[in-house]
Amino acid sequence: MSKLSKLLNLFNNHALRLLFSVSILLFFVLHVVKVVEWDFINALEYEIYDTRLESSIPQTLDNRIVILDIDEKSLNEIGRWPWNRAVIAGLIDQLFDTYHIDVLGMDVVFAESDESSGLKKLQLLSQDALKDAPKFLEILKSLENTLNYDQQFSESLRHRRIILGYTFSKNDTQIGQLPTPIITKTPQNLIFEAATAQGFVANLSLFQNNAKSAGHFDVFPDSDGIVRRIPMLYRYQGHFYESLSLAVTRMALGNPKITLDVVQSLGILQVGDKQIPVDQHIQTLIPYRGKSQKFFTYVSASDVLYGRVQENLKDKIVLFGTSAAGLRDSRATPVEKDYPSVELHANLISGILNENLKANSDYIPNLELFLVIFIAIVMIIVLPLLSPWLATFGTLTILGFIFLLNLIIWHHMHIVLPFATTFLLILVLFIFNMSYGYIVESRHKRQLTDLFGQYIPPELVKEMSHNPGCRFTMEGESRYMTVLFSDIRDFTSISENFDPKELSQLMNEYLTPMTHVIHQERGTIDKYMGDAIMAFWGAPLPDSQHAFHALEAAMGMLKRLKKMQSEFKEKGWPELRIGIGLNTGIMNIGNMGSQFRIAYTVLGDAVNLGSRLEGVTKQYGTPIIVSETTKNAVPEYIYRELDCVKVKGKEKPVSIFEPIGRVEEVGKSMKRELEDYAQALIQYRQQSWEMAKAQFTTLQTQYPKCMLYRMYIKRLTYFMTHSPGEHWNGVYIFKNK
652-676 mean pLDDT: 94
- Is it the case that residue 89 has pLDDT exceeding 70? yes
Mean pLDDT value of segment 423-443: 76
- Which of 321, 343, 360 terminates a domain? The answer is 360
Least confident residue range of 131-140, 281-290, 492-501: 131-140
Same domain, residue pair 33 and 71 = no
Q: Mark whether 86 and 156 lie in a shared domain.
A: yes
Please report whether residue 591 resides in a domain.
yes
The pLDDT of residue 736 is 64
Which pLDDT value is given to residue 10? 45
Query: Is the whole-model pTM more than 0.85?
Result: no
Measured CA to CA, the distance from residue 58 to residue 444 in angstroms comes to 56
Question: What is residue 492's predicted lDDT score, i.e. its pLDDT?
Answer: 86
Q: Model confidence at 3, in pLDDT bands (50, 70, 90)?
A: very low
Mean pLDDT of 269-294: 90
Quote the CA–CA distance of 483 and 523 in Å, as a whole number.
9
In a domain, 93, yes or no: yes
Q: Higher pLDDT residue, 240 or 2?
A: 240
Asked if pLDDT for residue 183 goes beyond 90, the answer is no
312 or 473, greater pLDDT: 312
pLDDT band at 320 (very low <50, low <70, confident <90, very high): very high
Which residues, 6 or more positions from 214, have their beta carbon under 8 angstroms from its beta carbon? 163, 164, 165, 166, 178, 179, 202, 203, 208, 244, 247
Q: Which domain holds residue 586?
A: 473-664
Q: Put residue 206 in one of left, alpha, beta given phi > 0 → left and psi -120 to 50 → alpha.
A: alpha
Confirm if 169 and 198 have CB atoms less than 8 A apart.
yes
Average pLDDT over every residue of 478-504: 91
Mean pLDDT of 120-149: 62
pLDDT score, position 701:
94
- Burial profile 136-150: b = 16 or more Cβ within 10 angstroms, e = fewer: eeeebeeeeeebbbb
How confident is the model at residue 122, as a pLDDT? 58
pLDDT at 7 over 90: no
651 shares its domain with 689: no
Confidence of residue 472 (pLDDT cuts 50, 70, 90): very low
pLDDT of residue 14: 67
Confidence band, pLDDT 50/70/90 cuts, at residue 590 = confident
Lowest-confidence range among 192-196, 631-635, 696-700? 192-196
- pLDDT score of 119: 58
Q: Which pLDDT band, with edges at 50, 70 and 90, does 127 fall under?
A: low
Shared domain for 498 and 353, answered yes or no, is no
Identify residue 721 by its one-letter amino acid code: T
The pLDDT tens digits of the residues spanning 224-240 come to 999 999 999 999 998 99
Integer Cα distance of 338 and 344 in angstroms: 12
In a domain, 461, yes or no: no
pLDDT the model gives residue 302: 94
pLDDT of amino acid 342: 93
Long-range contacts of 18-22 (CB under 8 A, 24+ apart): 18/380, 18/469, 20/432, 21/376, 21/379, 21/380, 21/429, 21/432, 21/433, 22/380
564 found inside a domain: yes
491 lies in a domain? yes
Specify the pLDDT at position 598.
66
The pLDDT assigned to 645 comes to 92
Asked if 533 contacts 518 with a C-beta cutoff of 8 angstroms, the reply is yes
When pLDDT is cut at 50, 70 and 90, the band that residue 165 belongs to is very high
The DSSP 8-state label assigned to residue 383 in this structure reads G
Residue 11 lies in a domain: yes
Are residues 400 and 496 both part of a single domain? Answer: no
pLDDT at residue 191 is higher than 80: no
Q: Is 174 within 8 Å of 200 (Cβ atoms)?
A: yes
| pLDDT at position 643 | 95
What is the C-alpha to C-alpha distance for residues 322 and 70, in angstroms, rounded to an integer?
Answer: 4
Q: Note whether residue 583 is domain-resident.
A: yes
- Number of domains present in the structure of the chain: 4
Question: Span 78-97, mean pLDDT?
Answer: 92
Q: Which residue, of 614, 633, 664, is where some domain finishes?
A: 664
Q: Are residues 641 and 655 in the same domain?
A: yes
Cα separations in angstroms, 414 against 363, 417, 623: 14, 9, 75
Do 264 and 412 lie in a common domain?
no
Is the same domain home to 597 and 676? Answer: no
- Is residue 468 assigned to a domain? no
Q: Among residues 335, 360, 385, which one ends one of the domains?
A: 360
User: What is the per-residue pLDDT across 339-366, written as a single tens digit (0 to 9) for each?
Assistant: 999 999 999 999 999 998 998 765 455 7
Q: Are residues 168 and 219 in the same domain?
A: yes
Relative to beta strand 199-201, strand 103-106 is unpaired
Does 728 share its domain with 617? Answer: no
Let me know: does 317 contact 88? Beta carbons within 8 Å: no
pLDDT band at residue 652 under the 50/70/90 scheme: confident
Tell me, yes or no, whether 283 and 329 share the same domain.
yes
Dump pLDDT digits (tens) for 301-310.
Answer: 999 999 999 8
Whole-number Å distance between alpha carbons of 489 and 212: 112
- What's residue 585's pLDDT? 96
7-16, 317-326, 555-564, 606-615: the lowest-pLDDT one: 7-16
Least confident window among 102-116, 123-137, 267-281, 684-698 = 123-137
pLDDT reading at 463 higher than 60: no
Rounded mean pLDDT of the chain? 86
Q: Which amino acid is at 663?
A: V
pLDDT score for 469:
46
Q: What percent of the chain has pLDDT over 70?
A: 85
- Element housing 712 (H / E): helix 707-721
List, as one string, the DSSP characters of 575-621. PP-EEEEEEEEEEEEEEEE-SS-EEEEEESHHHHHHHHHHHHHHHHT
Average pLDDT score over residue span 441-456: 52
Over residues 584-609, the mean pLDDT reads 84
Query: Average pLDDT, stretch 64-90?
Result: 92
Q: Tell me the CATH number at 599.
A: 3.30.70.1230
- What is the enclosing helix (H) or strand (E) of 149? helix 149-157
Same domain, residue pair 36 and 120: no
Q: What is the dihedral of CA 615, 621, 622, 627, to 10 degrees?
A: -50
Give the pLDDT score at 737: 55
97 or 539, higher pLDDT: 97
Q: Which residue has the higher pLDDT, 344 or 115?
A: 344
Of residues 394 and 361, more confidently modeled: 394
